[in-house]
Amino acid sequence: MPRSLRRNIVNSQIVLLTGAGSTAGIGFPTMIEFLASLKDLISQDANHQAALEILAKLNPNVENDLEALIDAVETYKNTVHGTEIIVDDIGDYEEIEDAFNSLSAFRKMLLDRIVDTYGDVDPKIAESHYSPLWKSLSAATKSTYIPVFTTNYDWSLENFAEARQSVNLNDGFAQPGVRTIWSKDNYSLRANENRAGLADMALFKLHGSTNWYKDSTGEISQIAINDRSLRNRESVLIFPGLTKKETLDEPYQTSYQYFTACLRNCKTLVIIGYNFGDLSIQRVVENAIADDGDFRIIAINGPRFDATDIISSESIRSITKVIPEYFSDDEDSFYLENLNGHLGLSPLVQFEGYNSPKSIGPKQKMDQYQWFDFTVSSHRKRKITVFSIFDAAGVDHSYPNDQSGEQDLRIFTQLGNETKLVNGLTIRKGKQHVYAALPTSVKDPDYAYIGFSDNLAPTYARIK
C-alpha cells in the first residue's frame, strides 16, 4: 500500500461506517423497509412466486427470510447458471430452462428495484444532512482524510462532498474525460489534495453503487442511470444478503482491504444506521477489537435500536456505546451533542460548585445550614432527577427523586423557591444557577454530582 495513502487515509483516528438508517432522514427507505416492499412485490407476480418456490427447495428459509432469499439468488448466479444445484435439488432436467428463466427474471427485478429506489439526491439536501456530522468528525481528528465506509447504494455522500466545496472526495474514480473510471491506484494518486478546513473524504462503497457499471473489459465507470451505454454494461452491486462472495472482486476487494487497514489503526469507529447484517463486515470489526484493547465503537441507530437483539457478536456489543437518537441535520440535536461528548469535543454538561460566602437561602431562618452555589451549563434543555453531595469521608448526602424519608440536602433554584425534584428540575439551555444547602454538621463537603432523566451519565463537580 503506498506510503502517501497509509499516511493520509489509513492512519485516521476516526472511521465512519454508515448503513441504510443514515439516509432515512433524506427519504431513502431503510433496508427493513426495502425488504418489506420487495416481499409485497414478489407476492403480486406469479413468475417471481415460481422463482421463490425453486429457491425454497435450495434453502427452506427463503420463504420467511428475505436476506436468505437474496443470498440463495446469488448462490444460484455464481454456479454455471445454477444447473448443478437445480438438477441435484429438483431432479427434473425439463425444469432447468424454466427455472433459469424464472430466477434470472427475479434477479433482474431485484436489481431494477434497487436502482429505482436508491439513486440521486439533491446536493443541497445532502449537504444539509451531513454537514453537522462532518464538522464534528473533522474537529475530532487531525487527519487530512476521514475514511467513510458505507453499505448504501445511493449517491448522498458523493453529493454532500460535491456541494460542500471545502470537502474533497476521493472515491477511487478518476476523470479522464466525460466518464469517471475506477482504479485502486487513484486513492494513492489523489491522497495529497487536502485543503485547509474540513477533513476530506475517502469513500468506499462496500456493496457498490447504483451508478457503477462494468463493461465487457471489466472497466468500472460512474454513469448516469439514463445513459444509453448501459445496455452493454453490468451493474456493480452486491445484494443485501448475509454472505458476500463478490468481496473477492474489484472494487470490493480494495474496499475491504482499506476497511481492515483503517480499523487496525483507528481508535474510534462511528456507526450510523447500520446493524451488522453483513458477516464480512462483522468479522473485520471483531478482528480490530481483538487487536486493540482501546478500540471503541459509537453507534447512532435510533431510539428503537436494541444492541442485545441486533448485534449478535458479543465482542462488538460489549464495547459499543449506543446513542439512542435518530441521525438528523439538526446542529442542536441530541445525537450530535452526545457524539461531541464521546469524541471529547465538548462536555454535554458543565457543572461547577462553590462554597457561598454568604447566605443565599430563603428568607426563613436557616442558620444551621451551609450554602453552595452551583452553575449548570447545558447545550439543551434537560431535566435533573438526582442531586448528591459527597463529603470528604465519601458519605453521600443525596437528594433522590422522591419525597420519602429525612433528607439533609435541600435544593433551591432561586431565593425562597425550594424544589423537591419529584418531577425533575428542568434546566434551560445555557447557564443556570442551582443552590444547595447542607446542615453545618456535615464536615468537609468535597464534590457533587447530578443525574438526568435522559440517561446521560452523571456529571461531577469538585466544590471549590
Residues 456, 446 share a domain: yes
446 vs 443: CA distance, rounded Å: 9
Greater confidence (258 vs 90) lies with: 258
Tell which of 117, 135, 159 closes a domain.
117
Residues 304, 228 share a domain: yes
Q: According to the model, what pLDDT value does residue 183 have?
A: 87
Residues 53, 198 share a domain: no
CA nearest neighbour of 381 among 327, 331, 325, 431: 431
Residues 288, 199 share a domain: yes
Residues 294, 178 share a domain: yes
Measured torsion, CA atoms of residues 141, 144, 150, 154, in degrees rounded to the nearest 10: 120
Q: According to the model, what pLDDT value does residue 207 have?
A: 87
Residues 290, 173 share a domain: yes
Cell 447542607 sits on residue? 438
Q: According to the model, what pLDDT value does residue 246 have?
A: 58
Q: Residue 37: which domain range?
A: 31-117
Sign of dihedral through CA atoms 233, 234, 237, 240? Answer: positive
- Summarised one tens digit per residue, pLDDT across range 230-249 is 555 567 676 655 555 556 78
Q: What is the CATH number of the domain that holds 448?
A: 2.60.40
Residues 363, 325 share a domain: no
Residues 274, 192 share a domain: yes
What is the chain's alpha carbon radius of gyration, rounded to the nearest angstrom? 28
Sorted by sequence, the CB contacts under 8 Å of residue 51 that are 6+ apart come out as: 99, 102, 103, 105, 106
Residues 306, 402 share a domain: no
Q: Given strand 234-237, what is the order of strands in its sheet?
A: 173-174, 180-182, 220-222, 208-214, 234-237
14 vs 143: CA distance, rounded Å: 9
Pick from 14-18, 91-95, 204-208 the range whose average pLDDT is largest. 14-18
**How many residues in total does the chain contain?**
464
CA nearest neighbour of 438 among 404, 402, 401, 387: 387
Q: How many domains would you assign to the chain?
A: 3
- Confidence class of residue 276 from pLDDT cuts 50, 70 and 90? confident
- Summarised one tens digit per residue, pLDDT across range 17-65 is 999 889 988 989 887 788 788 888 888 888 888 777 777 776 777 666 6
Tell which of 282, 309, 342 closes a domain.
342
Residues 150, 208 share a domain: yes
Q: Provide the phi-psi class of 302: left if phi over 0, else alpha when psi is between -120 and 50, else beta.
A: left
Tell which of 74, 96, 117 closes a domain.
117
Residues 39, 75 share a domain: yes
Q: What is the CATH number of the domain that holds 150?
A: 3.40.50.1220
Residues 124, 111 share a domain: no
